Amino acid sequence: VNCFYHERINHSKDFAKGRNHINGVENFWNQAKRILRKYNGIDRNAFPLFIKECEFRFNYGSPKQQLEILLDWTGI
pLDDT tens for 6-56 read 777 777 777 766 666 777 788 899 999 998 888 888 889 999 999 999 999
Sequence-separated (6 or more) residues with CB below 8 Å from residue 39: 50
SS (H, E, C) the chain: CCCCCCCCCCCCCCCEECCEECHHHHHHHHHHHHHHHCCCCCCCCCHHHHHHHHHHHHHCCCHHHHHHHHHHHHCC
Q: Which pLDDT score, from 0 to 100, does residue 1 have?
A: 56
CA angle 52, 42, 53 (to 5 degrees): 15
